[in-house]
Amino acid sequence: MDSAQLIGILATAIATATPLVFACIGETITERAGVINLSAEGTILLSAMVGFAVAKTTNSLLLGFASAAVVGALIALVVAYAAISLQQSQIAIGFVLALLCGDLSSFLGNPVVRIPGPTVPSFKIPVLQDIPIVGPLLFQSDWLVYISYALIIATWVYFYRTRSGLLLRAIGEQPAAAFARGTNVVLMRYLYTLVGGALMGIAGAAFSLDFKAGWSHRHTAGYGWIALAIVIFGGWNPIRVALGAYLFGILQSFASVAQSTIQAVPTQVFTVAPFVLMILVLVLTSSDWLDRLLSPLPASLRRTALQTIRVTPPAALGRTFEQD
Amino acid sequence: MKSNLLSRSNYYQVGSFVVSLLFIAIVIALSGVSPFQVVASLWDGAFGTADQFARVLSTLAPLLLCASGLVFTFTAGLYNLGIEGQIAVGAIATTALLRLLEGAIPAPLVIALALVAGTIGGAIWGLFAGVLNVYGKVNEIFAGLGLNFVAQGLTLYLIFGPWKRPGVASMSGTELLNESLWLSTFGNTEASPISLILAALAVVVTVVVIRGTHFGLKLRAVGQNLRASYVLGIPAVRQLLSSFAICGAFAGIAGALQVVGVFHRLIPNISSNLGFLALLVVMLVGFNALFIVPVAFFFSALNIGSLQLPLALQLESSLAGVIQGTLVLFAVLGRGFSERKNGLKNS
């Protein structure tokens, strides 16, 4: 494999991962606040359909993305209301919405199947695009890709470098303590669930208006379920989650190349790989096996290794919180 | 007081049902067709001919099997989203055995052994999720979803790899089974008495075990309070693992029936999403095993009836899923409302 081919694979990987980055960051924000939005698959499908239909009729990309974000936020509102206010199982409500919104997208989206529509224009950043290797890889994409880079960094900064980010993490870890310190936990959880849902909606539009422009039934190939897996794989850390999304993109784009070059390895191995990796990471990081595995190491080294490998979910994830 | 509470929750159930119907009517109206036309078309599609009714029954069997299995995991307090994969692995195990023994021993015996293989395959895949959950401390939802994709990958690998049809490997699946290995049916229809008997048995066994045995009682205890039952000396680990294995076994039979009774080969979407549909069924009945039968029948009729929609009214057949999902969504919301109102009144 020569370098041009490799750059090709990596460029495809970034394009493949971009919708996933929006969805994964959205879910990360939601889960950090202590809520699981399991509807991801349905949210992405329905917002992809609506985003495409709106952009097509109004001929405005911006309105397409905005309506997709609104759809995502509305579905998140149902999740938040059922989970936070009615204290029903987040898993049950999210799962039902995943199926319902998926079917709604197929039913209502029937008139816009496989018709051409507007797409996000590409934009090559001057000067930077001429840098060898890095240029073609990072600076010859479209607006959405650059926004996704900014989103990753902004979310990381918000989480770990701002006071409100600290509060966000607190309501997912110790809601009772955060409430005692005067945080309106319920309001904040609503807010972050809605923000996360809106980002998932944008992920949908990133499909139908950019990556796989257009709309057809089951357009997004299970990306919602994959996003849920990647958030865990990335340990609820925006940078690690994004790396997980890019790893998935690399595996996917490698699979499509491998189909023609390496016949010995079945391509299904690459498509299934993220899930096997996710399970392995989960087993390694949440069970006691990791401690045993690292026990031969000296104490200080072991502690550092544990800190870097082990990911723990927000302690209050999926739990209801009674404010009054 | 008790009857008062009961009537109150009934009131919310009826209320949520009415709201569901309104929502569904609005969705249908958005597509520009009269809801009454749609109902007529759905009815016609499910019950219009003997063939169509037989198809409803052949969908009902795996749905009842999966829903029965899910009652076990739900009772233990688990969301077994891995059921789709458990169906697929059951189907794979069945196909493997059919390929191995075809022609070597009498066909009825091959079919019987293949059903056993499917049961074991599903149980192992269910147990796998259970082991990840109990010993690996992996949340059962993500273990299940992950294993679904692994099972899907395995199915595709077999269809395109070792089990591909001579000359052409395609999404249409493996080569059709020899007709002697097809499950016997009522006349020339798709419904098989054996499938229905197995499904009925599954429901009966489930009701009896959950309501009337010591095992069921312990399972309920584990489901209601894992920590407390552990302290009280109930072997929670064994209960959790058994519920995963039982659910997987029932799903495995469903997968086996899809191969020998319906498709007569292994296809990529062998589960036909019946596992997820079964989850909706169990959520709607609130884990009461007896009500599974009418709800599953209604859902099967919707699934088959909706196949008529594209032909009769140029609508998407996914309307069936919209109706099913809406009913469950509002039932969950209605339950939440009634609990909240009752809670406020009590406090």
**Per the CB < 8 Å rule, is B135 touching A275?**
no
Beta-bridge partners for B98: none
**Per the CB < 8 Å rule, is A102 touching B135?**
no
Distances (CA, A) of B275 to A17, B132, B235, B254, B324: 29, 20, 28, 9, 14
For residue A290, give the chain B residue with the closest CA: B136
**Per the CB < 8 Å rule, is A86 touching B135?**
no
Tell me which of A263 and B174 has the higher pLDDT: B174
Alpha carbon of A31: minimum distance to chain B alpha carbons (Å): 14
Q: What's the pLDDT at A261?
A: 66
Residues of A in contact with B340 (CB under 8 A): 85-87
- Considering CB atoms only, which of A88, A92, A104 is closest to B322? A104
Contact in structure between A242 and A21 (CB atoms under 8 Å) = yes
The terminus-to-terminus CA distance of chain B in angstroms comes to: 15
Query: Which of A1-10, A82-91, B237-246, B268-277 has the weakest average pLDDT?
Result: A1-10
- Percentage of residues of chain A with pLDDT beyond 70: 93
Give A19-53 pLDDT, tens digit per residue.
999 999 999 999 999 999 999 999 999 999 999 99
Q: What's the pLDDT at A286?
A: 67
Q: What's the pLDDT at A162?
A: 95
- Considering CB atoms only, which of A89, A107, A232 is closest to B27? A107
Band the pLDDT of A287: cuts 50, 70, 90.
Answer: low
Best B79, B131, B145 residue to mutate vs chain A (most A CBs within 10 Å):
B145
- pTM value is 0.92
For residue A222, give the chain B residue with the closest CA: B149
A124: number of Cβ within 10 Å: 13
B345's tokens? 């009144």
d(CA A74, CA A62): 18
Tell me which of B187 and A309 has the higher pLDDT: B187
List Cβ neighbours of B42 (8 Å cut-off, separation of 6 or more): B301, B302, B305, B306, B308, B309, B320
For residue B335, give the chain A residue with the closest CA: A88
**Per the CB < 8 Å rule, is A106 touching B318?**
yes
Q: What's the pLDDT at A262?
A: 61
- Considering CB atoms only, which of B152, B322, B333 is closest to A107? B322
* Spatial CA neighbour of B258 closest among B164, B107, B122: B122
**Per the CB < 8 Å rule, is B332 touching A217?**
no
Residues of B in contact with A102 (CB under 8 A): 321
A192's tokens? 């972050």
B346: number of Cβ within 10 Å: 8
In total, the C-beta contacts within 8 angstroms joining chain A to chain B are 142
Q: What's the pLDDT at A265?
A: 60
- Considering CB atoms only, which of A85, A276, A289 is closest to B150? A276
Contact in structure between A170 and A178 (CB atoms under 8 Å) = yes
Contact in structure between A19 and A25 (CB atoms under 8 Å) = no
Query: Which of A158-172, A223-237, B109-123 has the weakest average pLDDT?
Result: A223-237
Q: What's the pLDDT at B52?
A: 92
B72: number of Cβ within 10 Å: 29
**Predicted-complex ipTM score:** 0.92
Best B132, B282, B306, B332 residue to mutate vs chain A (most A CBs within 10 Å):
B332
CA angle B115, B69, B21 (to 5 degrees): 120
**Per the CB < 8 Å rule, is A272 touching B333?**
no
Going residue by residue through chain B, which has 347 residues, state the pLDDT in tens, using 9 for 90 and above. 444 555 666 788 889 999 999 999 999 999 889 999 999 999 999 999 999 999 999 999 999 999 999 999 999 999 999 999 999 999 999 999 999 998 889 989 999 999 999 999 999 999 999 998 888 878 888 889 889 988 998 998 888 888 888 777 677 888 888 888 888 888 777 888 999 999 999 999 999 999 889 899 888 888 887 767 767 777 788 889 999 999 999 999 999 999 999 999 999 899 999 999 999 999 998 767 889 999 999 999 999 999 999 989 989 999 999 999 999 999 999 988 888 877 654 44
CA torsion angle B168 B172 B174 B177 (round to 10):
-120
Alpha carbon of B52: minimum distance to chain A alpha carbons (Å): 22
Please report, as a single letter, which amino acid is at residue B53: F
Residues of A in contact with B161 (CB under 8 A): 266
Q: Where are the beta strands (DSSP E) in A75-185?
A: 122-124, 140-142
Alpha carbon of B125: minimum distance to chain A alpha carbons (Å): 14
Contact in structure between B239 and B130 (CB atoms under 8 Å) = no
d(CA B118, CA B98): 11
Residues of A in contact with B154 (CB under 8 A): 268, 272
For residue B149, give the chain A residue with the closest CA: A272
- Considering CB atoms only, which of A95, A269, A286 is closest to B279? A95
Please identify which residue in the block is written with the tokens 């009517």: B25
Alpha carbon of B183: minimum distance to chain A alpha carbons (Å): 31
d(CA A237, CA A37): 17
Give A168-207 pLDDT, tens digit per residue.
999 999 998 899 888 899 999 999 999 999 999 999 999 9
d(CA B291, CA B282): 9
Contact in structure between B106 and B170 (CB atoms under 8 Å) = no
Best A91, A103, A269, A291 residue to mutate vs chain B (most B CBs within 10 Å):
A103
Q: What's the pLDDT at A264?
A: 58
A50's tokens? 């609506």
Tell me which of A8 and A265 has the higher pLDDT: A8
**Per the CB < 8 Å rule, is B316 touching A225?**
no
Q: 3-state class of A59 per DSSP?
A: coil
Contact in structure between B296 and A112 (CB atoms under 8 Å) = no
**Per the CB < 8 Å rule, is B81 touching A103?**
no
- Considering CB atoms only, which of A99, A268, A279 is closest to B156? A268
Q: 3-state class of A141 per DSSP?
A: strand
Q: 3-state class of A122 per DSSP?
A: strand
Backbone angles phi, psi at A97, to 5 degrees: -65, -35
d(CA A143, CA A121): 7
Q: 3-state class of A123 per DSSP?
A: strand
CA torsion angle B8 B14 B17 B19 (round to 10):
-80
A44: number of Cβ within 10 Å: 39
For residue B331, give the chain A residue with the closest CA: A93
d(CA A169, CA A18): 25
- Considering CB atoms only, which of A102, A266, A282 is closest to B136? A282
Q: 3-state class of A142 per DSSP?
A: strand
**Per the CB < 8 Å rule, is A266 touching B157?**
yes
**Where are the alpha helices (H) located in A207-312, listed in sequence order?**
223-233, 238-261, 268-286, 289-294, 299-309
The chain A residues in contact with chain B (CB within 8 A) are 38, 78, 82, 85-89, 91-93, 95-97, 99-104, 106-108, 110, 217, 222, 225, 228-229, 232, 266, 268-269, 271-272, 274-276, 278-279, 282-283, 286-287, 289
* Spatial CA neighbour of A244 closest among A255, A228, A233: A233
Residues of B in contact with A106 (CB under 8 A): 316, 318, 321
Q: 3-state class of A140 per DSSP?
A: strand
For residue B24, give the chain A residue with the closest CA: A104
Q: What's the pLDDT at B4?
A: 52
Average predicted confidence (pLDDT) for chain A:
88
Alpha carbon of B297: minimum distance to chain A alpha carbons (Å): 19
Q: What's the pLDDT at A311?
A: 72
Number of H helices, E strands in chain A: 14, 2
Q: 3-state class of A51 per DSSP?
A: helix
- Sign, CA torsion A252/A253/A256/A262: negative
